[in-house]
Amino acid sequence: MYSTFLIAIVSLLAVPAHSANFMVTVGQNGKFAFNPQTLTDVNAGDSVEFMFYPPVHSATQSSFSNPCVATSGGFDSGLISSSDFNNPITKNWTVPDGNGPWWFFCKQPGHCGMGMVFAVNPTDNETFTTFQNTAQGKSSSPGTSSTSSTSPSPTGGDTPAGNGALPFGGVSPLAWPLLLYILATITL
């Protein structure tokens, strides 16, 4: 009887701890954002489920100092193209050993520069705000709001680049979800 009790105790101790699953939406409601933008208290073995909404987004691992540059060998969902607002495509990332922090961005052209970034276990020294400001080309010094970007010259029309010019061939990025919905409902 003592040996049965001892075996039961040892087997309970051998049961691995359950890992947590965190869900993060990517581009939901036509927003250029991960939601939530940060996760904390994430441990090795936990998983992050990225839920991709239309039109095209990614979850690509980067570094704190280079938010919009993919890390060699890091997680990369690839560009995920979706047209279904009700059933997002999902990709999972299993948190590796260590405490992080880990940094991610959307590699669809222009999205990272608009602040579409995400962090797991940011620290007091490497904050999400500084990471996002760096992605947007903003200075991380308090009290400054300078931005740096280069815009191509317009090829037609009278709207100078950077002064109301629309990216993506003249279609507002906020119009893409509506445009995809219209195209999906048209039957030929």
Full pLDDT tens readout for the chain, 188 residues:
555 544 444 444 444 457 899 999 999 999 999 999 999 999 999 999 999 999 999 999 999 999 999 999 999 999 999 999 999 999 999 999 988 999 999 999 999 999 999 999 999 999 999 999 999 998 544 333 333 333 333 333 333 333 333 333 344 445 545 545 555 555 55
Residue 74 to residue 102: CA distance in whole angstroms? 10
Is 76 inside a domain boundary?
yes
Classify residue 42: in a domain, yes or no: yes
CA angle 139, 143, 147 (to 5 degrees): 30
Whether 35 maps to a domain, the answer reads: yes
| 155 domain residue, yes or no | no
Asked if residue 100 is part of any domain, the answer here is yes
Residue 73 is assigned to a structural domain of this protein = yes
Residue 49 burial by Cβ neighbours in a 10 Å radius (0-12, 13-18, 19+): middle
Flag whether 47 is in a domain.
yes
Looking at the structure of the chain, the number of domains it has is 1
Rg (CA), the chain: 21
Dihedral class, residue 137 (left if φ above 0, else alpha if ψ from -120 to 50, else beta): left
pLDDT attached to residue 17? 59
d(CA 104, CA 57): 12
- Enclosing domain of residue 76: 21-136
